[in-house]
């Protein structure tokens, strides 16, 4: 290469890098609208935006441990979108919007691990349909988030990812199982993040991180391409920092429609074109709504962990009443969370579903040559060390009990069929409650107490089981914080669930939007609210999750 040409290319590169660094996109609390405003006013490129998020993750993730891996293709995807932008080919509701995936969603180019060491080399050959919908809408998948291993609990600790920390209180968990997604969105590591919900797992981290989330009606969004736990209870969804972004995420993920890989999607009403939930946000007002309040979903004892929740909920109920909402207290003894929790059927369904997911197919090939890249069955995962000489998975008492039960339980067991009948009874009772009281929705705190401390044996006090069993939709909204303390400078976030009738997502998002206007409470996490200097990346850096922070109460071991 001629010296003058070489110098010219260096100058061009330096000029480009200098421009990129001078056009800083502040990703803190970024929204779909702010990303698009920056792009369309040419104040930032897609590469600027994606690089800014990556720099923030690289700088702050070590303290929060929310992101388990980055997508090595993220910058090249951003460059492709910049080319489309320059050509005027800007389509898709999520054009250049950054999304993090809970690490149980299949996405080409990244492992799908479930946070489990035994699945570290699980390389899917096809995107989950919900992921493909996000990508087709223009989203940039930044990477994968930590979760409670295999989505079994709400502490968000895993053998591959370690312990994720709540960015509002570094001594507490971020909820779970989608806690990595919750902590990441709260810390502005992305605009949106996906999650799954088998009992509480989308709503628990939303509540604990001052976020909005949805658990859709069973059948609205395909669950294919996601590590399964329960065909009865599993759903997929998303988290965001505001209702508007959440509505866009729901619209995109639900646009998949019927998916033969997940036959429950046949239950959903077909709409052509797919429903735009954003159109539902700002219609009408709260006046005249009838909201049921589930008394059995509160812990009325006096403690420093329960009283903040009760006080915040009382304040919210008062605000709603002042705006013309009629609150109907529901005291039916059927709504006892301890009794309802006994209807959980995960352990009956998990083994068969995991076997089906791990069985090699054209969409998920596994090399079976001299090296076994990952287990191909439940028994291989939980009864061997895959020849690596390392342990496969994290063991906590509740999780060990679950895996043990799952190893000998199946959907052919008589107690399973009896439990399904009781779930149907509960579903009919819930419909009766709606009809008899002429309710628009039902409200209650997502968690009876503040999100638990790191090292706790379980995420106690959560209320998600009712929606999980009945398949009803829920939107979770932030409603306040506990009082500030030494460990929580702005307090610990508290969330409220809004449960509706099947297919009422539009109404629930409308209520959530009006509540957010009535009482906006979201605050940035104090430990990660500073700016991060951008970088001119040549390639996406790799991450090393902090597994050293796993509490001694959670040993690693082979089942």
Domain boundaries, the chain: 32-345+413-528
Catalytic choice (102, 123, 351, 448): 102
CA distances from 263 to 115, 191, 260, 267 (A): 27, 30, 6, 8
Contacts of 159 (CB under 8 A, 6+ apart): 115, 116, 117, 149, 391, 392, 393, 394, 547, 550, 556
Alpha carbons 523 and 343: distance in angstroms, whole number: 37
pLDDT band at residue 360, thresholds of 50, 70 and 90? Answer: confident
Place of tokens 């890098």: 17
Express as a percent the part of the chain with pLDDT over 70. 89
Residue 238 main-chain phi, psi, to 5 deg: -145, 165
* Better-predicted residue by pLDDT, 307 or 371: 307
Tens-digit pLDDT profile for residues 279-288: 999 999 999 9
Tens-digit pLDDT profile for residues 216-234: 999 999 999 999 999 999 9
What would the two tokens of residue 488 be? Answer: 């929580």
* Better-predicted residue by pLDDT, 191 or 376: 191
Kindly state the average pLDDT of the residues 8-33. Answer: 62
Tens-digit pLDDT profile for residues 29-80: 999 999 999 999 999 999 999 999 999 999 999 999 999 999 999 999 999 9
Average pLDDT, the chain: 91
377 is catalytic: no
**CA 230 and chain centroid, separation:** 17
* Better-predicted residue by pLDDT, 556 or 203: 203
pLDDT band at residue 202, thresholds of 50, 70 and 90? Answer: very high
Catalytic choice (69, 177, 207, 504): 177
CA distances from 111 to 16, 148, 323, 385 (A): 33, 16, 48, 19
pLDDT band at residue 384, thresholds of 50, 70 and 90? Answer: low
Region 32-345+413-528: CATH code = 3.90.1300.10
188 is catalytic: no
102 is catalytic: yes
Beta strands in 418-492 (DSSP E): 441-445, 474-481
Catalytic choice (69, 111, 178, 201): 201
Tens-digit pLDDT profile for residues 452-488: 999 999 999 999 999 999 999 999 999 999 999 999 9
Alpha carbons 522 and 519: distance in angstroms, whole number: 9
Q: Is the dihedral of CA 13, 19, 20, 21 positive or negative?
A: positive
Place of tokens 């605009």: 191
Query: Is the Cβ–Cβ distance between 525 and 487 less than 8 Å?
Result: no
Range ranked top by mean pLDDT from 23-32, 341-350, 356-365: 341-350
Can you give the pLDDT at residue 398? 67
Alpha carbons 255 and 179: distance in angstroms, whole number: 25
What would the two tokens of residue 175 be? Answer: 């909820």
Tens-digit pLDDT profile for residues 120-154: 999 999 999 999 999 999 999 999 999 999 999 99
Reading phi first (left if > 0) and then psi (alpha if -120 to 50, else beta), residue 503 is in left
pLDDT band at residue 369, thresholds of 50, 70 and 90? Answer: very low
The neighbour count for residue 9, using CB atoms within 10 Å, is 11
CA distances from 358 to 151, 353, 378 (A): 16, 9, 8
């Amino acid at each position: 290469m001629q010296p003058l040409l070489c110098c010219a290319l260096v100058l061009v590169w330096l000029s480009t890098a200098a421009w990129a660094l001078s056009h800083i996109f502040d990703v803190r609390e970024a929204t779909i609208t702010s990303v698009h405003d920056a792009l369309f006013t040419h104040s930032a490129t897609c590469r600027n935006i994606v690089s800014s998020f990556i720099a923030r993750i690289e700088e702050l993730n070590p303290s929060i441990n929310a992101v388990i891996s980055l997508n090595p293709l993220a910058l090249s995807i951003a460059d492709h979108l910049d080319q489309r932008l320059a050509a005027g080919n800007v389509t898709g509701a999520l054009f250049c919007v950054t999304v993090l995936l809970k690490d149980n969603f299949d996405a080409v180019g990244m492992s799908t691990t479930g946070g489990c060491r035994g699945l570290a080399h699980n390389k899917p050959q096809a995107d989950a349909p919900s992921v493909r919908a996000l990508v087709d809408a223009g989203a940039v998948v930044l990477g994968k988030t930590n979760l409670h291993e295999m989505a079994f609990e709400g502490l968000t600790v895993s053998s591959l990812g370690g312990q994720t920390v709540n960015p509002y209180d570094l001594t507490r968990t971020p909820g779970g199982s989608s806690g990595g997604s919750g902590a990441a969105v709260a810390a502005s590591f992305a605009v949106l993040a996906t999650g799954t919900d088998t009992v509480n797992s989308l709503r628990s981290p939303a509540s604990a991180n001052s976020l909005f989330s949805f658990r859709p009606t069973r059948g609205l969004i395909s669950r294919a391409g996601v590590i399964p736990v329960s065909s009865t209870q599993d759903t997929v969804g998303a988290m965001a920092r505001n209702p508007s972004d959440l509505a866009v995420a729901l619209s995109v993920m639900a646009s998949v429609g019927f998916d033969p890989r997940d036959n429950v999607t046949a239950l959903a009403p077909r709409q052509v074109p797919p429903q735009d939930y954003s159109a539902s946000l700002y219609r009408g007002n709260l006046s005249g709504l009838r909201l049921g309040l589930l008394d059995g979903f509160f812990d009325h004892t006096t403690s420093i962990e329960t009283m903040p929740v009760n006080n915040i909920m009382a304040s919210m109920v008062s605000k709603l009443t002042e705006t013309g909402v009629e609150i109907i207290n529901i005291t039916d003894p059927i709504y006892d969370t301890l009794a309802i929790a006994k209807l959980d059927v995960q352990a009956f369904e998990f083994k068969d579903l995991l076997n089906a997911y791990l069985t090699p197919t054209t969409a998920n090939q596994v090399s079976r040559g001299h090296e076994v890249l990952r287990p191909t069955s439940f028994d291989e995962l939980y009864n061997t060390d895959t020849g690596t000489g390392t342990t496969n998975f994290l063991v906590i008492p509740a999780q060990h009990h679950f895996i043990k039960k799952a190893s000998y339980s199946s959907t052919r067991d008589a107690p399973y069929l009896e439990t399904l009948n009781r779930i149907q009874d509960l579903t009919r009772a819930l419909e009766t409650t709606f009809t008899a009281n002429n309710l628009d929705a039902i409200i209650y705190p997502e968690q009876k107490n503040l999100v638990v401390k790191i090292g706790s044996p379980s995420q106690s006090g959560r209320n998600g089981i009712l929606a999980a069993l009945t398949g009803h939709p829920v939107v979770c909204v932030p409603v306040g914080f506990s009082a500030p303390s030494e460990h929580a400078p702005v307090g610990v976030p508290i969330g409220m669930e809004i449960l509706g009738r099947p297919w009422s997502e539009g109404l629930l998002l409308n209520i959530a939007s009006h509540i957010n206007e009535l009482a906006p409470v979201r605050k940035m996490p104090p430990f990660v609210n500073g700016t991060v200097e951008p970088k001119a990346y040549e390639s996406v850096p790799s991450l090393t999750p902090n597994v050293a922070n796993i509490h001694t109460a959670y040993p690693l071991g082979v089942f």
